[in-house]
Chain A
Amino acid sequence: DGGITQSPKYLFRKEGQNVTLSCEQNLNHDAMYWYRQDPGQGLRLIYYSQIVNDFQKGDIAEGYSVSREKKESFPLTVTSAQKNPTAFYLCASSKGPAGLAGGYLSSYNEQFFGPGTRLTVL
């Protein structure tokens, strides 16, 4: 799991409640990502941040929010607006921003994942 930690490992939430998932990295990576994983599907990008104080929506951002106040931290809040929040959530980081000029600087593209948080809505 490298230098990425996620907490908690398991999380239970009642319907209508917001919940925040923690992600911390000590790899000195600029870019961080949040993915959602559902059974039988690939990872889907929720939000990503290329640098501190900046973040962008991914493919399935509705019902989620993030912040990036510190380089090492990228918390994800699952709001009550997320219709089907039960899933396995994965945080990742990479050395540099996705899409660095040239594209062949792929060391910047290597993403390292945390151990994940399994969220269950009761």
Chain B
Amino acid sequence: GENVEQHPSTLSVQEGDSAVIKCTYSDSASNYFPWYKQELGKGPQLIIDIRSNVGEKKDQRIAVTLNKTAKHFSLHITETQPEDSAVYFCAAFMFSGGYNKLIFGAGTRLAVHP
């Protein structure tokens, strides 16, 4: 079936360093790719998204890149801070199982150490 793979599953960085999380997707027709941040015990919060008609999008310290040919997209966090510590999920909007839906990656647990 259609799926989204996310790597790494855990990521540990020092404060101020950059963090990169990568996802690949299976359906070449996918056209919308959101990233969510989930803090402990809370629901996921949308932090940035990208549509298939652009290759890169930035919002302050976070950026997302999309390579449609290779079917992968990445989240880049620069100048990491302890409050960036959370679980990050990528997702791809695709047609699967008879309907359109968001398919989520398994998540990356990011730890930023002071």
Contacts and interface: CB of A to CB of B under 8 A. Distances in A.
Contact of A1 (B43, B53, B102): B43
A56 B51 CA distance: 26
B100 A98 contact: yes
Given A1-B43, A115-B42, A45 B101 contact: yes
A4 to B, nearest CB: 8
Given A42-B4, A106-B51, A113-B45, 15 more contacts: A42-B91, A43-B89, A58-B101, A92-B43, A103-B100, A104-B31, A104-B51, A106-B31, A106-B49, A106-B93, A109-B32, A111-B34, A113-B43, A115-B43, A116-B41
Interface of B: 4, 6, 9, 31-32, 34, 36, 41-46, 49, 51, 53, 89, 91, 93, 95, 97, 99-107
